[in-house]
Structure 1
Amino acid sequence: MSEFVVGTLLHFQGPGGIYGPSCQAVTELAVAELNAAGGILGRPVRAELLDAGQPRPALRGQLARALDTGRIHALTGWHTSAVRNAVVPLVQRRVPYVYPAAYEGAETRPGLYVTGEVPSAQLFPAIARLRAEAGTRRWFVVGDDYAWPRRTAQVLAAQLTSLGVQFVGARFLPEQGPSAAQLAHVLAEVEATAAQGVLVLMVGQNGVRFNRAFARRGLHERVLRLSTLMEENMLMGSGAAATTNLYSTGGWFRSLATGEALDLVGRYVAHHGNGAPAVGAAAEACYEGVFALRTIVERAGSPTVAATDRSVDGLTYDGPRGRMLFRGNHAQHRLYLARADGFDFDLVGEL
């Protein structure tokens, strides 16, 4: 029987490379579990890994060849919005594409199904809670310079006035990594604006470097940080001394005490052993992407985009985040706010 090949876009180099090993390991677990349960449409599943961190012309060429030869039958994996926007024109209407990362919202293109968080559901309630509990009203945005951070800041700026909260400044730094001088300049601006909180919209190693510079300047003791991509690998990279007053918000944390979260961590350790890379939010999103893809295709009875587009609305399934419900092409699920405690997170509460 022919394989069902899932193209899996993961970052193995560049700022997002810090997520790569855990994303690959979780994808391997997901594929093994799918195959133990009969695969997709009765076909054994294989993940073909594609490096989303390589230069985009090379990535587009690699993906185009795989699509043109019929070598892959669907696409998923954790990768940035910049990569998504680069590859959608190649994938659209050809194979179903599940995008599991937190992103800027408003994605409606055919064949694209989103299981990640969006700003209105993820960040607005988190900022509202921090305003109520910590009095954080003045925020400075520091992000990488591409669609997700810029659009997220735009969406939130319009929403936050109802809370009596404002952005007092914003800086977007080179996507492939800011210089030490650029980081120093941004931190001086944070101090000059008397910001009480910094919204950190930075990927992987960029966020790690920002956290370290933030702590060296002593800002971690008096200015709160909130991030959407901050996960366990980034905490380890930042160092425990740099994570004071650091919050993260999202649909899954390793420290969640839900049965679904504990089950995933237990199965992951059983599959890979105790020495496997730490499961963080990006890795869990990869698991979510594979199982959402299976559920969408199985319900449609076909991997054709016309069939999956017709059948996705109203689809539900149970995964590591609990019950997932698709409204149109977006999945809805529970969201949480958590505070860093060394190399892990303490749950503050459900949003």
Structure 2
Amino acid sequence: MTAPSALDLAGLAADEVNAAGGIGGRPVELVAVDSGRTPAVVAADAAALHRAGAFDLLVGFHTSDVHRALERALPPEARYVFPPPHEGGRRRPGVLRIGPSPLEQHAAALRWLTLNRRARRWVLLGTDYVWPRTVHRAARQVLSAAGAQVVGEAFVPFGPGDAGLLVDLVLRSRADAVLLSLVGRDLVAFNREFTRAGLDRRVVRLSGALEENGLYALGGDATGELFACMPSFAASEDASDEGQLALQERHARRSGPRAPVICAYARGVYDGVRLAAALADGRPAARASAGPRLGRADGLVFRDVLPARAS
């Protein structure tokens, strides 16, 4: 769902770098590697391309299990920018993560919902890989300190499954809030089943992976109970970030009126390509980080509840 807009924004970033003279007078060229395969296959493919001189820097747009496999497969001198939310922990030199850690992304949102929506009984649902597991560990810490409790938890494999079983867990647990670390189509399938069960208007949902394309796949949400804590809400109609609004205009000019909607992941890829170009050009890699953010779904857009602050 997110790949079309991410590829669009990667191309836009490369075009802008090249329009400004490229890197030391050389044009930026993009080499795409399919990261939807198993981590070992993706890592082996990328390592072979690097050995062959096909690329100088890697910008990763993929899950954290692929991220870890790439770190192991690439040589120490390979430089690698990873923009999405990540699982935290130490990383080898040459790897630059520009997304938030689990605590940075989720802590403020969990505390706000516990206090302001009286969300005391939480169920944690995630896809079975490293990022959701570290998110859930962080969430347990935050929720316990906030006086809330975890009353259920489940991890499911990637791919089609029975979302009804997860909805049944929420019902049995008498939860008043759900933290969703499901990703991609699994997240969409759960939310659709959740709505069919009639829980969407009485149980709060918070996701660290729901972005604009996922909201479109749901047909939007107007319950006031669906929240997301992505680093940005790129397609929000009330975006106050002038740079974001200008980016949306440049994207529309380049890709046309039927271009895929810019999502938070795509914005990360754009930032990652621009940052990788700066690194290759010998410029500093300093980057302002965004503070915690929480948005509530309002139809097909997100409205800020906790707007980003520079930190």
Q: Do Structure 1 and Structure 2 share a fold, with TM-score over 0.5?
A: yes
2:5 corresponds in structure 1 to 22
Name structure 2 gaps, 5 residues minimum. none
Deviation per residue, 1:110-132 (Å, 9 max, x gap): 11101111121110101111122
1:179 aligns with 2:136: no
**1:145 pairs with one of 103, 116, 128:** 128
- TM-score, normalised with respect to structure 2: 0.93
With structure 1 as the length reference, what TM-score do the two structures score? 0.83
Q: Map 1:304-315 to 2 at 5 A.
A: 312=285, 315=286
Q: Counterparts in 2 of 1:227-246, with a 5 A limit? A: 227-240=207-220, 245-246=225-226
- The answer as to 2:169 corresponding to 1:189 is yes
When residues 242 and 275 of structure 1 are mapped into structure 2, their CA distance, relative to the original with a 3 A threshold, is same
Question: Aligned with 1:94: secondary structure?
Answer: coil
Question: Hey, what's the Cα distance between the residues in 2 that align with 1:340 and 1:72?
Answer: 39
Higher strand proportion? 1
Identity, % of aligned positions: 34
List structure 1 runs of 4+ shifted beyond 4 angstroms.
241-244
Match of residue 100 from structure 1: 83
What do residues 174-210 of structure 1 show as CA deviations (whole Å, max 9, x unaligned)? 12x2422xx2222111111111111111111111111
Any stretches of 5+ residues in structure 1 without a counterpart?
Answer: 1-17, 301-310, 317-323, 325-331
Taking structure 1 as reference, are residues 49 and 192 closer, same or farther at Cα in structure 2, changes over 3 Å only? Answer: same
Cα drift, residue 241 of structure 1: 5.3
1:75 paired residue number: 58
Alignment match, 1:5: none
Cα shift readout 1:145-182 (whole Å, capped 9, x = no counterpart): 0000011111221233221122211100012x2422xx
Q: Is the 8 A contact 2:121 2:176 kept in 1?
A: yes
Inter-partner Cα distance in structure 1 for 2:109 and 2:24: 40
The 1:241/1:158 distance shift into structure 2, 3 A limit, reads closer
Identify the match of residue 224 of structure 1 among 204, 214, 225. Answer: 204
Q: Does 1:84 align with 2:67?
A: yes
Q: 1:208 aligns with which of 178, 188, 210?
A: 188
**Which deviates further from its counterpart, 25-34 or 59-68?**
59-68
Q: Could you tell me which residue of structure 1 aligns to residue 104 of structure 2?
A: 121
Once residues 44 and 296 of structure 2 are traced to their aligned partners in structure 1, the CA distance between those partners, rounded to angstroms, is 41
Contact 2:84–2:98, Cα closer than 8 Å, also in 1 = yes
Asked if structure 2 preserves the Cα contact closer than 8 Å seen for 1:143 and 1:150, the reply is: yes
Q: Is the 8 A contact 2:220 2:299 kept in 1?
A: yes
CA RMSD of aligned residues (A): 1.7
Residue pairs, 1:5-20, within 5 angstroms: 18-20=1-3
**Letter aligned with residue 42 of structure 2:** L
Task: Tell me how far apart the structure 2 counterparts of residues 294 and 211 of structure 1 sit (CA, whole Å).
Answer: 38
